[in-house]
Amino acid sequence: MAPKKGLLSATAAQRARAGGGSRPTVLLIIFFLFLSPAVFFFSRGLRSADLEIISSGSVQQDVGWRERTALQQFNSLFPKAVIDMIAASTNDLGPYSLDHFRKNNLSVSWKIDGLETTVDDFYERNQTVIDIVKEKPNSEEVKLMDDSSQFTDSTAKQTRRQLREKKREKHAAQLLQQDNNILIKLENAAIERSKSVDTSVLGKYSIWRKEYENDNSDSTVRLMRDQMIMARAYLAIAKMKNKLDLYHELQTRLKESQCALGEASTDADLHRSSPDKIKSMGQILSKAKEQLYDCKLVTGKLRAMLQSADEEARGLKKQSTFLSQLAAKTIPNGIHCLSLRLTIDFHLLPPEKRNFPRSENLENPNLYHYALFSDNVLAASVVVNSTIVNAKDPSKHVFHLVTDKLNFGAMNMWFLSNPPGKATIHVENVDEFRWLNSSYCPVLRQLESAAMREYYFKAEHPTTLSSGASNLKYRNPKYLSMLNHLRFYLPQVYPKLEKILFLDDDIVVQKDLTGLWDVDLHGKVNGAVETCGESFHRFDKYLNFSNPHIARKFDPNACGWAYGMNMFDLKEWKKRDMTGIYHKWQNLNEERLLWKLGTLPPGLITFYGLTHPLDKSWHVLGLGYNPGIDRSEIENAAVVHYNGNMKPWLELAMTKYRGYWSKYIKYNHPYLRQCKLTE
């Protein structure tokens, strides 16, 4: 019992230093020294700040056997109400709780006779111990107390540490189990959700979007196609592994499915024997899987089939591009018929009836002048008619039409028989412009060269549709026609005009355009709507910036603009010699090293730094290729432009946009009925 002796000696020394005291007081101090660790753990409501002082220093280290002894004395030390209160506050301390000792009927080994106390008495005596411990012990006392705690302290600490670790591990395991339960619930919910989705329905773009909630009409067709793909894969593997019986059976079922599928694109088009064919194919595929399935072989075969299908798709895409470009550049039969009938009737007219009225307005600079260069009678009629219908005062509008000699008679006859109200109109033949010759115009000179004829007409002698697709755009007739390049000679065509509005023949006018003549161009030559909202409409899209002539002069990120509706200041044009600038760059591009084709690239170069941006509402583009234009944007535009291949007079035009164009055509006109031109 050396620890007790050491502790008694220390307490006696403390008592002597405090000035003495009675024997019961000494015993009480000794008892509370044994009791203080338990009080620290179990009496949270009893002055925790003071109890922490007892637990500090050397007293905190000597808690092992004293703690257990003190716990055994609790029943005799406190009234039942106090013990119940302490028990309630220590339930979460496991084996150190008061209930643990009471339930296990731990017996006491000694008692303090005649000691009765209350909570107040306990606090007063505990305060005495606190006051004693607050005094700094001398080195001898510290040494004695340290010696007494060396072997009693480690066991209890280890036990508590193990309990804490077990508690943490248990808590962590509970959290992990909780997370696992949540994951399992989510997975089960996803599985249940997937069961409600028909996995054979493959035609929906997205099952989450309400607009695609319609029933799929070709799910069976797609299932049959999938079966045929797998049958072809197993067919090759069966032949490779010399499974001839299975090979012939697969071949038979594949032919049956192909016959049943035919040209069907929806379930409604399928033959009534299709369900039986699907069942038979499923059975043979199951048999093939049992006999032939090898992950590596099947994967390799499917990959080879995918590559083959990809190559075939690329070839079909080239053919589609070729045919769509061909359709876009070919004159429809109805329009060709219209031109022929009008030409015949024009030449039947007496010469005195071939002239338009109000010719005195053609050079009046105070009127609103339009330039329109076209070989399409129907398209030109829509441009003129839509402009007049939406004009506030049609009598002040003058239309200057230029066409080729092939369509000259037809264009004249149409507007002679369908005059544009009070507006003035005049039709000219580009082939009668004697000043426009190869000695003056670089484009005409280049077109006469053998190299250019080789480039445009032979196009490396393509032998198939797919090989000729990339060359078709270079052989587009509009790039060879001077009607397309005449826009660079406006001052020469109309020498007495000061301003003119240039219009393409694939536009529709929806508002009065006279406000454009009031727009201040700030000394610029060209007024146009910019198209650089997207990166591919900047200069580097159209020009070859690897060429030093282009790289030195222009910014690749400069904003592009659109032809189709352009206000030109002809006075500034002549002052700056814009036609001469165009000639210079056209001569430099004789080998097509600066740009490939078209009139927009030379236009961007010629009017670089001399283009004033107009408000975008004046001119909305994209109706010939972009199906996503906002309807309100179209309806608020002054001019809508069908730039692209899907022109409104072609069968491949987008139906949603065609009405803006067709409403300006009178389809009950005798000429249109004779040529079967309908909406």
**Domain map (residue ranges) of the chain:** 217-328, 335-675
Q: Say if CB 367 and CB 396 are below 8 A apart.
A: yes
Element (H, E) at 593: none
Element (H, E) at 223: helix 219-240
Which burial class, exposed, middle or buried, applies to 196 when counting CB atoms under 10 A from its CB (0-12, 13-18, 19+)? Answer: exposed
The beta strand positions in 367-440, using DSSP E, are 368-373, 397-403, 424-429
Distance CA 415, CA 358 (A): 14
CATH superfamily of 335-675: Spore Coat Polysaccharide Biosynthesis Protein SpsA; Chain A (3.90.550.10)
Distance CA 54, CA 317 (A): 90
- Give pairs for 533-542: CB < 8 Å, separation 24+: 539/604, 542/595, 542/600, 542/601, 542/604
DSSP for 297-364?
HHHHHHHHHHHHHHHHHHHHHHHHHHHHHHHHHSPPHHHHHHHHHHHHHHHHS-GGGSPPS-GGGGG-
Determine how many CB atoms are found less than 10 A away from the CB of residue 301.
19
Structure tokens at 501: 């509005």
Q: Which residue has the tokens 């008692």?
A: 111
Distance CA 461, CA 514 (A): 49
Average pLDDT by consecutive 10-residue portion of the chain (679 residues)?
A: 41 42 43 45 41 41 53 58 62 53 45 41 45 46 48 70 84 77 70 50 38 56 87 87 88 87 80 86 88 82 82 81 73 90 94 92 95 95 96 96 95 95 95 91 82 64 48 59 91 96 96 96 95 73 91 91 94 96 92 85 95 95 91 95 92 91 93 89
Structure tokens at 135: 């005094």
Distance CA 641, CA 655 (A): 15
